[in-house]
Amino acid sequence: MVGSFAGFVQSFIACPVDLIKIQMQMEGAGYHKLSKGRGNIYFAKQIFKERGFYQGLTPTLLRDVPATHHFDISKTLIQTDRIGHYKGVFDCLKKIVHRDGVKGLFKGFGPVAVKSFQLNAVGFFVN
C-alpha cells in the first residue's frame, strides 16, 4: 500500500520530467523544433504553453502505482503524440494491439527488466 502511494505521488513529478525529456528527444531526432535553439527553460515553457505538463499523467499513474510495463509504452506514445492520434490510455493500448498484436504491449520489456533488476539489487545491497 505504501509503495502504491509513493508511486502515486511520484507520478506527478515523473510525468512532467518524462514529457520534457521525450519531447527533447523528439526534437533531437528532428521531429520538431520547439525550442528554436533557445535552451531548456524556453523549451519547457513552450511545452507548458502548448499542452501543460501533465499530458500522459493517466498512463504514468497506471504504470507507477501498480507498476506495469504496457502502461509505460502507452505513456511514451501519448507523450510523443503531437497530432492527437490517441484519445487516451486504453485507446492507445487498443491501437498497439491492433497494429502489433499482444506482443506490442511488451516491446522493450527486456531492457526494462534488466534495469529494474540492477536498481533493485543495488537498493537491496545498500539497505
Which pLDDT tens digit goes with each residue over 104-123?
988 888 887 777 767 666 66
Say if residues 67 and 90 touch (Cβ distance below 8 Å).
no
Most confident segment among 16-25, 89-98, 101-110 = 89-98
| Lookup result for grid cell 506514445 | 77
Q: Does residue 100 or residue 32 have the better pLDDT?
A: 100
Q: What is the pLDDT of residue 92?
A: 94
Could you list the beta-strand ranges (E) of 1-127: none
- pLDDT, tens digit (0-9, with 9 covering 90-100), for 56-96: 898 888 888 777 788 889 999 999 988 889 999 999 999 99
C-alpha cell at 72: 509505460
Say if residues 82 and 48 touch (Cβ distance below 8 Å).
no
Q: Where in the sequence is the domain holding 99, given as residue range(s)?
A: 2-126
pTM, two decimal places:
0.59
Cα 101 versus chain centre, distance: 21
**Distance (Å) of CA 83 to CA 3, 7, 51, 112, 118:** 35, 29, 12, 28, 36
Domain tally, the chain? 1
